[in-house]
Structure 1
Amino acid sequence: MEIQDLLERVENREDFIKFISYLIKDLKQNANEWANTNIEDYLHGIASWVEDMDGLFTDPEEVLAESVDWRFVATILYTGSRYE
């Protein structure tokens, strides 16, 4: 299964966990396809994409910026740096 296909199927917490696991597997198997293979570059890539995301959607129904719980996303990123 392609990673993009799995991304489009994320609808709940279990799907999200599977997707993260698949990201790890994809990095190990396809690092040459990744633009950001270390944590600093990866986080910069996330920040850059979020900054530009409004211009990346062509379908108004795809605009997610207003419905995202940004504090929750930040909590996920923060706790990933501390939780074992």
Structure 2
Amino acid sequence: MDIYELANGVDSKEKLVEFLFYLQKDFKENKDEWENITLESLEAWLNDCDGAFQNKGEEMPKNIS
């Protein structure tokens, strides 16, 4: 799977989580070429950010830019 094609197709939270999954996989396979070591944490937070908003009594924004 091409990371750049995935990045260009991100238009929702779900696609962003999928992109980060593959980005993390690429990181594991090509560690020496990466500087960011927190991709797993970012994927996990985005996957559960609805709950973070609910816990605060807030609604998840519809269009995050």
Whole-angstrom CA distance in 1 between matches of 2:36 and 2:31: 7
Which structure ranks higher in relative contact order (CA pairs < 8 Å, sequence separation ≥ 6)?
Answer: 2
State the identity %: 36
Task: State the match for 2:21 in structure 1.
Answer: 21
Task: Identify the residue that residue 45 of structure 1 maps to in structure 2.
Answer: none
- 1:29/1:10 Cα in 2 relative to 1: closer, same or farther (>3 Å)? same
In structure 2, how many angstroms separate the alpha carbons of the residues matched to 1:2 and 1:33? 16
Supply the distance in 2 between the matched residues of 1:7 and 1:29 (Cα, whole angstroms): 18
CA shift at 1:25, angstroms?
A: 0.7
For structure 1, the residue ranges without an aligned partner over 5 or more in a row are 43-76
Structure 2: gaps of 5 or more residues: 49-65
**Superposition RMSD in Å:** 2.6
